[in-house]
Amino acid sequence: MDGAALYQENCASCHGAELQGQPDWHSPGPDGRLPAPPHDATGHTWHHGDEILFRITRDGTAAVVGGGYASDMPGFGDALTDAEIRAILDYIKSTWPERERAYQRERTQQE
């Protein structure tokens, strides 16, 4: 399963072809929602363990965060299989420097 191709097909339109995210991703837009963050080492994806990343991708950010949180990140559980989601996450993780990968592995073990 080609995680890079699946990422380009399903994620790149918001998170960028180079995983760079949308401009000003730290600042809410006029609608109060945060732009799509980068998935490269400059973002915060690597701060989260595998299970939370999987759930956000499958169910959407608002469903995972709860409390009325609004997000443009939909859940992809109806469009992608669990294996496809994991392949995308594996691809994203493969692009990080070792320091970020090591930190993320530790977070995953703590889940």
Instruction: Give the range of the structural domain holding residue 100, as residue numbers without chain letter.
Output: 3-20+36-109
CATH number, domain of 55, equals 1.10.760.10
75 touches 10 (CB < 8 A): no
- In a domain? residue 26: no
- Strands (DSSP E) found in the chain: none
- In a domain? residue 80: yes
- In a domain? residue 28: no
Which residue, among 38, 9, 58, 13, has the nearest Cα to 100 in the 3D structure?
38
- In a domain? residue 31: no
pLDDT (tens digit, 9 = 90+) per residue, 4-40? 999 999 999 999 999 999 999 999 999 999 999 999 9
- In a domain? residue 29: no
Other CB atoms within 10 A of residue 37 CB: 20
Residue 107 Cα distances to 25, 50, 54, 61, 63, angstroms: 23, 8, 13, 19, 21
- The domain tally of the chain equals 1
- In a domain? residue 56: yes
Q: What is the structure's pLDDT at 72?
A: 92
